[in-house]
Homo-oligomer: A and B are copies of this chain.
Amino acid sequence: MRSGGAGVSASSRTDAAALDRHDPLLPFRDRFLLPPGIRYFDGNSLGALAKGVAERVHEVIAREWGETLIGGWNAGWIDLPRRVATRLAPFLGVAPEDVAIADATTVNLFKLAGAVLAGRPARERILAPAGNFPSDLYALRGLADTFDAELATVPAADLAQAVDARTALVTLSHVDFRTGELFDLEALAQAAHAHGALLLADLSHSVGAVPLALDDWGVDLAVGCGYKFLGGGPGAPAFVYARRALADELLPPLRGWLGHADPFAFEPEWRPAAGVERFVCGTPPILSLAALDAALAAWEGIDLAVTRSWSLSLGDLFVALAGRELGSRGFTVASPREGAHRGAQVSLRHAEGFALVRALAARGVVGDFRPPDVLRFGLHPLYLCHADVAELVRLLAEIHDSGAHREPAFARAAPVP
């Protein structure tokens, strides 16, 4: 696509090689440490390790913790969440001071949505897509119970028209975790605002995958995790965004000392910090946070428009090849065919999906599986080229035809997060 290539018409290994020939991301690929022989289609679930991360965390442990002990807090740890927020802001398209790093995504979603319900008692409804990320639905249901509100789930396509005067909050995952469908946050923000409601987006599956412009789009509130496309490491800290004017109005139900206007005064009463910082709660996990910081540093100089263009091209090729090679083998494409409606992920459906994903992994091609029948393939632009996509499709066909996935070793076991 981006290099005037064949786009959706690219449907052979030769075309894939041609598309890879002028790779604008080549200068950056060696920043990411992928094991030899692995084609990694799961960067949408756990980003790969970037160079510098292990060294940075070791420095934090051995020198900062080991040698300066408690002094580490004043020597940089206490400001580390703010520095990470500053690195993260361009991924979101927001001012650095409007995003904070804290806790886990679900906890942050709870804090934001709870603040909205608490502050707008006349509106008792939360709207979310029925297929929303389950952890978000669990948190929202818990909030609805707590605030005597209603959680209404509707098909994602009906979300905009379901907003009404009772709606406090419209909330959704920006990219559907199963299908990779990318929703239009700008249109949803307008639909929400037209009825006086607010929009809260979970960006876990889009941050680092799709250029975001929360500020321009009028998104009110957002959360997301640091460990998917961003590569912050397993369970990396999450983030929380609130539009400036709104942040100063909202009071989170869950309040902790690092969201206090003056945490070190140890005052008995909570006074909210200015802006989004009030949504910070407890002491941050510095080792995990340092890894996230170093991971974000590895993105320096990388143009998100270029990565998006590359992953769209990977996805277009995948969709085209899957249609041609896999349709007759019982696979269907579960993701939107049009790139504009797709995150950096293409999902297939197949009745034997679990075993097929396991058999692929045994051949060094790593995707993942989501019940009931979804094979997910993350198209992280910094880890993958078009030849990897062509090989993935070829292998899927080969495994399918040979029945290699029916080995007992690939039978159903516990899937991964």
Supply 27 A–B pairs (Cβ within 8 Å), ascending by A: A35-B66, A45-B70, A46-B73, A53-B61, A54-B61, A57-B57, A65-B233, A71-B366, A74-B413, A103-B104, A103-B282, A104-B256, A104-B283, A107-B256, A118-B146, A130-B268, A131-B268, A134-B268, A135-B256, A139-B255, A142-B255, A142-B270, A145-B251, A235-B284, A235-B285, A235-B289, A286-B288
**Interface residue ranges of A259-303 to B (CB < 8 Å):** 259-260, 263-270, 281-289, 291
Q: Is the CB of A29 closer than 8 A to any CB of chain B? A: no
> Is A237 among interface residues, defined by CB-CB distance under 8 A?
yes
Complex: how many Å from CA A57 to CA B40? 23
**Measured between C-beta atoms, what is the minimum distance from A326 to chain B in Å?**
22
12 additional contacts, CB 8 Å, given A57-B61, A287-B291? A48-B69, A70-B366, A73-B416, A78-B416, A107-B107, A107-B281, A114-B146, A134-B266, A138-B255, A234-B287, A254-B254, A264-B414
Is A411 an interface residue when CB atoms closer than 8 A count as contact? no
| Assembled-state Cα–Cα distance A374/B110 (Å) | 36
Q: Which single residue of chain B is at the shortest CB-CB distance from A45?
A: B70
Known contacts A58-B58, A67-B35, A107-B107; A73/B234 CB under 8 A: yes
Which residues of the other chain, B, contact A147 by a CB distance below 8 angstroms? 146
A137 within 8 A of B: yes
**Contact flag A254-B291 (CB < 8 Å), given A46-B70, A268-B134, A416-B70:** no
Q: Are A65 and B234 in contact (CB under 8 A)?
A: yes
A229 interface residue, CB < 8 Å from B? no
Ranked 5 nearest A-B pairs via Cβ: A104-B282, A135-B257, A285-B288, A234-B286, A106-B256
A252 nearest in chain B by CB position: B142
- With both beta carbons as reference points, the residue of chain B lying nearest to A281 in the complex is identified as B106
Residue A238 lies at the interface, judged by CB distance under 8 Å to chain B: yes
Tell me the complex Cα distance, A110–B134, Å: 22
Query: Is residue A172 within 8 Å, beta carbon to beta carbon, of the partner chain?
Result: no
Determine which of B49, B255, B286 lies in contact with A65 in the assembled complex, contact meaning CB atoms within 8 Å.
B49
Residues of the B chain whose Cβ atoms lie less than 8 Å from the Cβ of A67: 35
Partner of A417, one of B78, B236, B287: B78
Q: In whole angstroms, how far apart are the Cα atoms of A360 and B377 in the complex?
A: 57
Alpha-carbon distance between A58 and B61 when the two chains are bound, in angstroms = 10
Chain B residues closer than 8 Å to A137, beta-carbon distance? 268-270
Give a binary string over A97-141; 1 marks a CB under 8 Å from any B CB, 0 the rest: 000000111110010001000100000000000110011011101
Cβ of A370 under 8 Å from chain B: yes
A255 CB contacts on chain B under 8 angstroms: 106, 138-139, 141-142
